[in-house]
Structure formats: structure tokens, C-alpha cells
Chain A
């Protein structure tokens, strides 16, 4: 955190609950992080870790059975966790925007892509439709779509997955929001298209000064694009540091386990030399939201767990260089 400046987004001790069958449990707890203006921040974790729910909370899109329980979300210094729907609607699209995983379901199949982009200008900037459609062509060109004046007349099903995702990005960035939430933006895309889309997000946001919260389960995607990374497990942030640091010198055993279990290109040649052909496993399963273990939620799967880990949930330990880790026995 830059001292003396107000971060663009500050999340403080956020707690979100999910209600099932009459019982309520914490899907996200003690969540605190901050994103600076223009920064690309990565949130990495697996299914059920709470990363997508966090994004929904930031956009004010939580619906039953999800609910905000406690904690603060501050956007440009203003608290937004308890804002009414009208006020949130004003923020969404203009100041905070979102890109989802599946572009096909994010786009209206019955409207041309040009109209869907133009809608943003009409709604948020008060343009007339004619002017907005011209702005839509420019927006498509910015997301590097060839022949944008012809593509504006296409319907979503006529475009490939990569093109659709570009359209979604164009819609999200049309009104130059200060914060872009990207939830698994490339997971549904082919690998060669993925690299292009990530670079597009990076370049456009750098040019417009938009900060990005990039959410993914893919460590490679996060490492390629983000400056700062927070690792989530079972609803909590277990480690946070600069991107290089998290991946080169991970401190939490979940992060360490995750990185060593990945089959990375080039790893087999090295491993074979060391006489190993099997990957390093993390035992056990990812816990379901209703079944988070007591104490440190990673302890059933951790090779370093001790009685302390079962008894007490670890607090956040701040380390030098702005890093933090939530572990009794961090590296």
C-alpha cells in the first residue's frame, strides 16, 4: 500500500455468508486487501475458495443465498457495501465493470454486438444512438477486432469465442471505468487466444489507467499479467505479495504445494534427471463451503500441520516488503 495515498479499492475484514437448508456459514471471512489506481491485482484460488463471490460483492450483485455479513468495501474512499440498488447501478458500468468467463452467456443473443456496445454510451454518457453506434465502432477497433465497421452488425453467435470476449471487454471498458473485475476471462478460450486476450486487457487498462482485479484458478495466467497476487483458500486470503515473490518464494504451504504439483512445461526433463516421474501431490480434497475445517482450514492437507494448526486459526502475519501470510509455520 502506498503510504499517504487512498487506494482505489479497499476491502476491510469482509465477511460474506451463504445460507443452505436453514444454516448459514461463512463463504468468505476476514478478507482484507487493497488495489491501487491502475494496478493489476490477481486473486487466485480453486472452486469454493470464495473468489467469485468476492467479485459479486464488489459489484453489489450478491443475491440469496449469498449475503454480506460484516466488513467494509471502500471505493475511492466511499463505503459501498451497504449502498442501495440505485446507487450501485450508477457505479456499475461507469466506475466498476466486470468481464465474465463465458462470453456467449454474457452477451444478448438477439442484439447485434454494435448495439450492445452502443448501449453503454447511451446509458452512461447520455449519447444519442447514432453517435453511440459510431463510438461502438471505435471501441471495437480498440479491442483489435479487424474490420470493426462490419463486425458491429454481427450477432454474437456469428463470432468466435475470442472475438466475443473482445466484445465483452469493449463493453466493459467503454465508459472508462476505474476498476475492471475479470473473473476467469480466458478459461473458456483456446490457449493461443488466451494469450492475446490477456495482453489486450493489460494494454487497454494501462492506457486508460484502469485497475484490474484478475480472478483465476490458473497460476500461469495470474503470473503473466499481475503485479500483486493474493492466494485464497477456503474463504480466506492465505498469502499476499508481489507476483514474482508469490511464485518464486511462496510462503504458505498451500501455495507451495500448488506450485510444486503443477505439471509445468520443461519440468519432466528436470525431474527425470532427479529420478522422479510423478508429480508432488497435495493429499485430500478441496473442502466444500459447508465443511471448512476448524482452526487453519488447510490443516487436513498440510504436511506441516501441528496441534496448533487444528486448535487455532492463524492470523495474518505481515512480512517485510509488504507481503503477508496466514500460517503458524510459514516458510
Chain B
């Protein structure tokens, strides 16, 4: 029994024009996705999550490794075949729709390209998918600029659904929307997942959204997954120091938690640090962390994998993450760079 989507040792390196070396955008990623599951992918800029999404969709040929859909290599499929299996919802509702194509055309053309030619059939499917995303079909003859940001994102979701894919990759689906309508779209995504049996890969820097909708979560740093597990494990008991820093940095309007400050900058992806890539910024640094080879992902609990030499140690000593517990006072870890 194959997993719905399996990623094996995926690497995407962009060669630098005119210089030696390349940008290691994605460097050895393993992932699995089961039917009906939602995997949340979190990380900051430069971690490679967007490149990973493009590779999953077949829009970015990998430099190494494979993406398998039910055992078949996605790279070997034709564009049309891939289109019926995996689709994407983009971040920017303004740039992700062709300004000169009506909503109806945007939804109908893919159907025709895939062999559904009968006018009535096409119209029926367009109407069906518009209703699924909460839009009225009689608005379908309008152009994108006549809709609000939230409505446009609904159109984007409808477009992703029109060919009945099994996997949806959602790249920051609500970040560009007004705060008061984000809940509408998140609820819509949850409903659709349940009613259509879709599997999601949700990429977001907003950990609250990821926690709310994901079954499993993977945290990426500089092209690699540093921690992955079920949502309860990651958010309530994170082990990797980067995950803890990420969760601790989220300002919460209801609790004035002290932020866990992370020092330094995200290093360049052209010359990643030796050994564990996080070591220059890690508050739990030990000498062994700098030496090659870097740590591999290993299980510290069923379904919970961490890429850290000190994982077991840290897990034993760690309390609940302040994110989930209302109870005890804030956990404060502060590392500051000494000014020169």
C-alpha cells in the first residue's frame, strides 16, 4: 500500500551563474502524506518550503531524489496527468488570477483541456465547484478585479478543485487576506477537506493557522526538515531548539508571554554551516554539533522525529511549551549577541 505522496531524499540546488557552488534550497527532504491527511510545513524565509512546494507540483525539476504519487514518479508524468492529481492554491489572490480571464473561463478551460467538452457538462461542473467554495455562479462572468480579496481566494480554491485532484498544496493561503476574513477561508478549507477527502500540504509561517488545520507538522530550516510529528507533539512538546524558538517568537494577544529570542541571522544557503546547520544560533550548542556529518532525523517518540544530537537529552529535560499551557509562568530563554 503506497502512501498517497512520498518524497524521497529530495534535493533542489540552483547553480549560481558565473560562480562556483549553488544555492541549496532543498537538501535531502523525506516526507509522506496519506489520503485525507493535512501536513503543515513551517519555516522562515530561506528554508526552502516554497521550492519544495514547486518540486512537489512538478513545476521545479529536482536536482536529486524523487517525488512519488502512489508509487509513480511525478517528474515522469505529463503535465496533464499531474494536473489531475495535485493542485496548488497560491498566496496572493491578486496575482494568482489572470486579470483578463473571466472566472468562468478560468474554471472552464482546464476542463476542456482534460477532455470534458460538452457545454452543459462544463457549465455544470463550474457551477458545482463555485458553490463548493461559497460563491454564487451568476458572478462567474466577471473579471477578477471586480471581486474582493477573499472572494478571489475562493476562486483560486475553486480553480484548484475543478479537476478533482487528490492533493492540494496551499502556499500561505490566508496571509495576504484581511484578518477578519481569514477564519472564513480556514473554515472553508477544513470543510472541503472533510467533504472531498482531500489531502493537504499547508505551507505557512503563521503557526496558529498550521496548528489549527494540520494533522502532522514538519519544521524546515535551511533546506532540511529539523523536526516532524503530530500537531500535538510539535506544539505542546517541541524538542528541536529551532522549533521552540519559532513557537516562542509568536506574539500572542491574550498572553503577554516573553518571547524566546533567537540570535543571529539565517545563514546563506550557498555555504550552509558545517555539521548541524542550526548550530551557529543554537542555545543548546555543544562541540559535537559542529562536526560533520550533521545529525539525521531520528525518532524520539512514535511518529515524532527530530534532527538533533541532543534530542533525547532535551526531551527529557524539557517541560511543556509555554504555547499550550495557560498555567505556569512563561519559559524564558534569552540569548543575546554581545555588542562589540
Interface residues of A (CB under 8 A from B): 46-47, 141, 144, 146-148, 160-163, 190-196, 198-199, 217-224, 244, 247-248, 254, 257-259, 261-269, 277-283, 285-286, 288, 301
CB-CB < 8 A to A193: which residues of B?
A: 265
CB-CB < 8 A to A259: which residues of B?
A: 253-254
Evaluate whether A269 and B324 lie within 8 angstroms (CB atoms) in the complex, with A191-B44, A191-B250, A279-B183 already known.
yes
- Nearest-CB residue, chain A, relative to B254: A247
Stretch of B26-34, B48-56, B63-71, B231-239 lying at the A interface: B231-239
Stretch of B155-163, B202-210, B284-292, B310-318 lying at the A interface: B202-210
Q: Smallest distance from the beta carbon of B309 to chain A beta carbons, Å? A: 22
Tell me whether B78 is interfacial, beta carbon within 8 Å: no
The 7 sampled A-B contact pairs (Cβ below 8 Å) are A146-B337, A146-B340, A259-B254, A264-B208, A265-B252, A266-B326, A268-B211
Bound-state Cα–Cα, A315 to B149, Å: 30
Q: In the bound complex, do residue A148 and residue B340 qualify as a contact, i.e. CB atoms below 8 Å apart? A: yes
CB-CB < 8 A to A162: which residues of B?
A: 265
Evaluate whether A192 and B339 lie within 8 angstroms (CB atoms) in the complex, with A264-B208, A281-B187 already known.
no
Bound-state Cα–Cα, A148 to B259, Å: 25
Chain B, interface size category, equals 35 or more
B339 in complex: contacting residue of A141, A199, A263, A265, CB < 8 Å: A141
- 0 or 1 for each of B302-340: is its CB under 8 Å from A? (1 = yes): 000000000000000000000111100000000001011
Q: Smallest distance from the beta carbon of B150 to chain A beta carbons, Å? A: 6
Bound-state Cα–Cα, A267 to B249, Å: 17
Known: A146-B339, A195-B262. 4 other contacts (CB 8 A): A47-B178, A264-B252, A265-B250, A265-B323
- 0 or 1 for each of B159-202: is its CB under 8 Å from A? (1 = yes): 00000000000000000001111111011001100000000000
Q: In the bound complex, do residue B182 and residue A265 qualify as a contact, i.e. CB atoms below 8 Å apart? A: no
Most chain-B CB neighbours within 10 Å: which of A199, A265, A281, A288? Answer: A265
Q: In the bound complex, do residue B251 and residue A263 qualify as a contact, i.e. CB atoms below 8 Å apart? A: no
Q: In the bound complex, do residue A223 and residue B340 qualify as a contact, i.e. CB atoms below 8 Å apart? A: no
- Nearest-CB residue, chain B, relative to A229: B253
Tell me whether B139 is interfacial, beta carbon within 8 Å: no
Evaluate whether A192 and B183 lie within 8 angstroms (CB atoms) in the complex, with A248-B254, A266-B235 already known.
no
Tell me whether B245 is interfacial, beta carbon within 8 Å: yes
- 0 or 1 for each of B76-94: is its CB under 8 Å from A? (1 = yes): 0000000000000000000
Q: In the bound complex, do residue B180 and residue A286 qualify as a contact, i.e. CB atoms below 8 Å apart? A: yes
- Nearest-CB residue, chain A, relative to B212: A263
List of 3 A-B pairs having minimum Cβ-Cβ separation, nearest first: A220-B251, A223-B253, A261-B183
Q: In the bound complex, do residue B261 and residue A195 qualify as a contact, i.e. CB atoms below 8 Å apart? A: yes
